[in-house]
Each structure stands twice: as structure tokens, then as C-alpha cells.
Amino acid sequence: MLPAYSGSSPHDDPKAGRTLSTRLDHRNPLVFDTHELGRRPGALQRISRTVDAPRDLGVAGVIGVPEGAPVEIELRLESVMEGVLVTGTARASAEGECVRCLEPVELELDADFQEMFSYPDSDDRGRSKAVADDEAEDDESMIPLEDGMFDLEPVLRDAVVLALPMQPVCREGCAGLCAECGTNLNENPDHHHDAVDIRWAALQGLAGSLGTDEKDNMSDAASGVDEKQEK
């Protein structure tokens, strides 16, 4: 883990005596310091860190990494002319609910990501104004470094959301719930409801309130209707 940046690093900004004005807190485990790269193109640094998952890391109401759960982060920092290219992987356990049977779901998550963090004065480092203007549109997609530090949390959130299933299931062949009564069909594969002919549903309800003789008469009437339909 990198030591906390105190503002007196030998790789600090050449403007001596300036006061740090960054809004990033180096004590935040998701904030990383790039000063060891020294703004030397080609310089590499590898960082391994385990952090507590921030709030709402995932797909809201569907699946995500619980707040405070461990997230293992592997980073590769590469210094380039424009800034620092960060490539990494985050590993964690995500929890959610099966969209078919509503049972708990847990899965191991590997989220890969890559992001360019640019130097604030990269346009002044040996590039002409014309070249800078031509690359302005590309630069808009870069996140600026702040006093040599960057916050990985927004990148981590995007990577986790893309790596998670939008409709998680407990198993590939999950049968889900009975649409009529909510019975879990994985636990009761033979569960079913007898189909009722809607043409006789009203008569059956009426038959429940009639006496035996009246039921026999209704049965005979129904048989007569069936015979006519067959003819």
C-alpha cells in the first residue's frame, strides 16, 4: 500500500511552495497516489489493496456488493505523456435475489476496468496549440488527476454494474414460482392446478349452493347441451 502523501514528495509539482488544494482525501482507501511514477512516460507501478465496499455498489434493488464487504483491487498504473493509464480488476462477492423464484443469490464477481487520468497541464507539455485543439474532444473523456491523485470509486462503480447480471437467477434452469398461488416450483416440480372450463365455472359455483335433486337436474341439462353440440 502506498504511504500517505504529505505534500513533500520529491516528485511533487515543480511549482515549489504551492499549497495543496485538492478535494481528494489521501486517507480514503479508494484514492490512489501516482507521485511515485514521477511523470516519466513508461514508468509502471502495481498496487494491491483490499477496501470496504462503498454504499450502493451494484444494480439498485437487484444485486450488488453489500456495503462494507471486502473488495480486492489489483491495479496497474502506467505513466504516459498525457497522464496515468490505470488498468485493474476488482473481486468481490455480490448478493441479490433470483428474479424467478425470489430466493437469495450470491455470486463471485470479477470486474475489469481501464481508465485514463490526465495531467491538468498536459496540453502545455510539448504539444502545439493546434494539436491540443484536435485532441480536445478525446481529452474530455479523461478524468483529471488532482495533485497527482485519483479517486477510483466512480470507475469501480461503472465496472461492477457492467459485470453484474441485470436479471440474476439462482440456477440456469430455475422453474420460478406458480403464477396462481406462488408455490416454488423448484421444490414442488409436480405442482399444478386443474384447469376449469370457463363455460361451466359459473354453473359449478351455483351448484355448490343447490340441493342434490337440483344438482342432478343441472347435470342432466349440461349433458343435453353437450349432446346437441356433438350433433
Please compute the mean of the pLDDT values over residues 56-77 and round it to a whole number. Answer: 95
pTM passes above 0.85: no
124 versus 102: the higher-pLDDT residue is 102
pLDDT above 50 for 64: yes
Tell me the helices (H) and strands (E) count for the chain, helix number first: 5, 9
DSSP strands (E only) in the chain = 31-33, 44-52, 57-59, 63-65, 70-79, 83-97, 104-118, 143-144, 149-151
Q: What is the pLDDT of residue 227?
A: 53
pLDDT above 70 for 8: no
Q: What is the pLDDT of residue 61?
A: 87
**β-sheet bridge partners, residue 57:** 65
Residue range 83-112, pLDDT digits in tens: 999 999 999 999 999 999 999 999 999 999
Contact 71/50 with Cβ under 8 angstroms? Answer: yes
Q: What is the pLDDT of residue 94?
A: 97
Q: Average model confidence (pLDDT) for the chain?
A: 78
CB count in 10 Å sphere of residue 134: 11
79 versus 228: the higher-pLDDT residue is 79
Please compute the mean of the pLDDT values over residues 106-125 and round it to a whole number. Answer: 85
Q: How confident is the model at residue 117 (pLDDT cuts 50, 70, 90)?
A: very high
Q: What is the pLDDT of residue 4?
A: 38
Q: What is the pLDDT of residue 183?
A: 85
Which DSSP category does 16 fall into? T
Nearest Cα neighbor of 94 from 161, 48, 49 is: 161
173 versus 139: the higher-pLDDT residue is 173
pLDDT above 80 for 27: yes
pLDDT above 50 for 125: no
Q: How confident is the model at residue 7 (pLDDT cuts 50, 70, 90)?
A: very low
Residues 6+ apart with CB under 8 A from 86: 32, 75, 76, 77, 78, 113, 114, 115, 116, 117, 150, 152, 155
Percent of the chain with pLDDT over 70: 66
Residue range 154-201, pLDDT digits in tens: 999 999 999 999 999 998 899 888 988 888 888 888 888 876 666 666
Q: How confident is the model at residue 144 (pLDDT cuts 50, 70, 90)?
A: very high
